[in-house]
Structure 1
């Protein structure tokens, strides 16, 4: 599982860095954050904000969106440390105008939290979408890309999707986000449940001579034939490597 304490500490460091860049005072910045978020329609307690600054918690989706808009940083960077850091075209820190509040709401709808589940659970997800509200709230992650309400996250195991050369790679420990409602096509990274196992597998969907296969990125692993019993569970729409 992901080391949540490390994720919280890393988020706190990046938040302080963004605040420093924006010229927000070091002493009493919790009060400044509270005042700014409230002006943007996001009402958080000073206790909650203090936990962000002390590395005890990560901001929720509404607060994360507002912080990024205010500080001019990309959400992928603030939450996960994925570069580049700054938003394109951002020149200075500013408060949101009332007309911007609808944009914050739209961002919250597009970038939601999804449960981090096991590979066995991912296999079961293929048959019937589970009641995700039953999952432990501490196992939810904010997805950095648009995803359906039935999306979920997985932690990559093994090195079958690790690229030994240049190109995109998904090493062990990488977090991937899966959308079971997204349309899949040849060349997509997909999650599939193969015959004779309850677990899911992460591969690239490929086609040759009219037949479809599941291909690993690592050439040391075999290509898997797609049969009538193979079920494509969803498309991988995003990923990040925890620091």
Structure 2
């Protein structure tokens, strides 16, 4: 497989694939690379076992075993940044600044506008922390207690808990967006204009080393 073929299969730019091959950077989505190369993530990481064994897994002690394949998601959705999320309902593009398109796989049934967002900041800590990935569906209506992605007139999005608060003196329905971290203040829709972009339908936390 050429670099351009791998680029087309994974959604990353040819320049990014070239940096992988020259060991300048590591892939962010190793699963997509392993699937494109028809091998296992473990073989790519360690070189242990056979590159043809897509079901091979490596235990803590370094022994290779074979496990039953687990069904994986077949829906590929883009991972976007906070600025892109802020204009997502206005049909912004999926391409990242370096020309690549980072994606993740999910087995959820999602709307056509679904996206993933890598969390930054600690406003939702300790439940959702920086570096976590949330899958967001703009076609889902928020319910009390849902985690939502929203914007309040700025160019960037924010992630908070949705809490409807009833009606104000003018008879208009309003809601709060509440952080889990008490250091941050809630946002009120009766004080500032808030647009709900979508509802979090999946939360992923990846193992951190070091």
TM-score range, shorter chain: 0.5 to 0.7
Change (3 A) 1:230 1:146: same
Instruction: Report matched runs for 1:139-154 at 5 Å.
Output: 139-154=102-117
Aligned twin of 1:120: 83
- Offset, 1:4: 5.5
Contact 2:113 2:139 in 1 (8 A): yes
- Offset, 1:207: 2.1
Aligned twin of 1:233: 197
State the TM-score, normalized to the length of structure 1.
0.54
Structure 1 unaligned blocks of 5 or more: 16-43, 57-63, 76-106, 164-168
State the TM-score, normalized to the length of structure 2.
0.62
Q: Quote the Cα distance in structure 1 between the aligned partners of 2:26 and 2:182.
A: 33
Aligned with 2:164 (options 207, 219, 224)? 207
Deviations 1:148-207 (A, max 9, x none): 2211111111110013xxxxx111100001111112122111011113x11111001102
Higher strand share: 2
Aligned twin of 1:194: 152
Q: Quote the Cα distance in structure 1 between the aligned partners of 2:104 and 2:124.
A: 22
Aligned twin of 2:50: none
- Offset, 1:119: 0.2
Change (3 A) 1:193 1:172: same
Structure 2 counterpart SS, 1:5: coil
Deviations 1:29-68 (A, max 9, x none): xxxxxxxxxxxxxxx89xx224643249xxxxxxx9x99x
Deviations 1:62-113 (A, max 9, x none): xx9x99xx925364xxxxxxxxxxxxxxxxxxxxxxxxxxxxxxx63xxx11
Aligned with 2:38 (options 29, 49, 60)? 49
Q: Quote the Cα distance in structure 1 between the aligned partners of 2:101 and 2:139.
A: 24
Structure 2 unaligned blocks of 5 or more: 1-24, 47-53, 57-66, 168-173
Contact 2:151 2:196 in 1 (8 A): yes
Instruction: Report matched runs for 1:168-187 at 5 Å.
Output: 169-187=127-145
Aligned with 1:5 (options 27, 45, 66)? 27
Aligned twin of 2:91: 129
- Offset, 1:217: 1.0
Contact 1:7 1:242 in 2 (8 A): no
The count of aligned residue pairs is 155
